[in-house]
Chains A and B, each alone.
Chain A
């Protein structure tokens, strides 16, 4: 029984690795899927915004809206935040900016609460972050309140996603301390004084103004612009038009999936795949050794059975049954244990029924392979051993 428990734990790891792999795929694609964009405009020749960094001017959203076939355009702004909540644990999430006022987050899969109802200081967050509705947390210079809860929306790294208005998301992203603002302003003034422009008194006054009041400094860039098509338009048609712009690259939702899975997830997939294969090989070797040892323990009884005239198939069947029983117990244990403990893992472990079925098949094959060594030993058992005492 202890042997079956040990093997069951090993199979639990195999199942867990499968679930972790599935979880990585689900996590990686959950965010783009939840945003439901038909096309993604990103910085020219980059594979952004998920597989690679992409920066676009904020006004590109307006340009895109003017293209025939585009029903709506939303900027995509996202960055990761890790902060200590006063009196609570450290939290880490991806802050994503919604194009307020067009996008309130009404399309998000909310399980509690409501979409954003004001331009500032509210956010919607995934349940996996552990913040309850109404929780207020300080981010930058402001305090934000949780007004909605989603489920299953994570960034490619597995961090829960929090939805703010775009301006709030950028304010949090570019928040600087007073000292940093002062030093930045002094550096800018010093650069200005060294230039010929310092003779112009208007410009001299403006150089000491806040950054957002200086016309030469544009608004913060965005990572991508998401488009939704008007009814009757094909993605390829609109993409063709946008592709004539020399400063952007356009991807469909399917392209984004491919970029994410082929880029971010590919190496992880191979790594976990190899690790899984290694575990299956280890399980096979271990089970073979167990069956072989169990056969050795019973070799006298097997010799006796041969002496009593047991058919070969009876003896081989016994060894196979033993291996299958061992595999069956270990498999059941792995399923039960997996169902119990995988929920407690910090990242998503997504075990599908097809994975369970595949594992059952693997266990069946392992059991048969493992029993071969025992069968070989059993067939070599000499009935004379019984007479020899």
Chain B
């Protein structure tokens, strides 16, 4: 783990919906830090606020209050998104989902390159980095295969490669092992752990799967919008 500034610093993040009888507090003054190289599991029952926190960290939704720094950069201040949100997403964030969400008409290598292309990384460099990470995740032999030609586990590896190839400060994973069996689920969690260590990325994994919690560094629990850790 790193001794420098945390990869993620959240201060008093709150999000509520509706008014009067329909008022719902989805996230209540959540404050936490995640260090670079650290893997954190976010646990909680359905409707507890996991997705709300994930979408705020992913800069998809905006909190009503609070601030957030990612990779040492202010991205939310006093409940307002600041700076170039798209640029932060392209460079500081990586996403892995329950489904691989690979683009069906691109092959594995091009799915990975896409993230670099969006950030105008030169083609040759992008190609090399895509090949390297496919090699690292053990799916180099599937580089030219389309998503439909890959198994569930291979698809998820390619998705993880896509989330890591641009070396983000924070990797957000939403139930990444939900559709995998125990063994493959553990392999994925190990990949996160390795990636966090080797690439110095902070990883936040939303999960219901308690079978792989031994592979994470810390756990956050959330219930009725209140985060405890």
Contacts and interface: CB of A to CB of B under 8 A. Distances in A.
B194 interface: no
Given A386-B97, A386-B101, A389-B99, A307 B118 contact: no
B86 A310 contact: yes
Contacts of B61: 384
Given A386-B101, A387-B51, A307 B114 contact: no
A308 interface: yes
Interface in A297-319: 300-301, 304-305, 307-311, 314
Nearest to A388: B51
Contact of A387 (B91, B93, B97, B118): B97
> By CB atoms of chain B within 10 A, which of A301, A314, A386, A387 has the most?
A387
A300 to B, nearest CB: 8
A331 B99 CA distance: 40
Interface in B183-200: none
Nearest to B178: A389
Interface stretch (B15-23, B52-60, B73-81, B125-133): B52-60
A383 interface: yes
Interface in A257-290: none
B28 interface: no
Contacts, number: 51
B98 A309 contact: no
Interface string B67-91: 0000000000000000001111111
Contact of A309 (B55, B86, B99): B86
Interface residues of A, number: 15
A309 B87 contact: yes
A307 B99 contact: no
The range of chain B's interface size is 20 to 34
A1 to B, nearest CB: 14
Interface in B8-47: none
A305 B101 CA distance: 11
A345 to B, nearest CB: 40
A304 B103 contact: yes
A305 B86 CA distance: 10
A386 B89 CA distance: 14
B115 interface: yes
A304 B118 contact: no
B97 A389 contact: yes
B87 A387 contact: no
Interface in B118-166: 118-119
Contacts of A314: 118
A338 B30 CA distance: 67
A18 B212 CA distance: 70
26 contacts: A304-B101, A304-B103, A305-B118, A307-B58, A307-B60, A307-B95, A308-B89, A308-B115, A308-B118, A309-B86, A309-B87, A309-B89, A309-B93, A309-B119, A310-B90, A311-B118, A314-B118, A384-B61, A386-B97, A387-B51, A387-B54, A387-B55, A387-B58, A387-B60, A387-B97, A389-B99
Closest 10 CB pairs of A and B: A309-B89, A309-B90, A309-B86, A383-B60, A301-B103, A310-B118, A304-B101, A384-B60, A308-B115, A386-B101
Interface of A: 300-301, 304-305, 307-311, 314, 383-384, 386-387, 389
Interface of B: 51, 54-55, 58, 60-61, 85-91, 93, 95, 97-99, 101, 103-104, 114-115, 118-119, 174
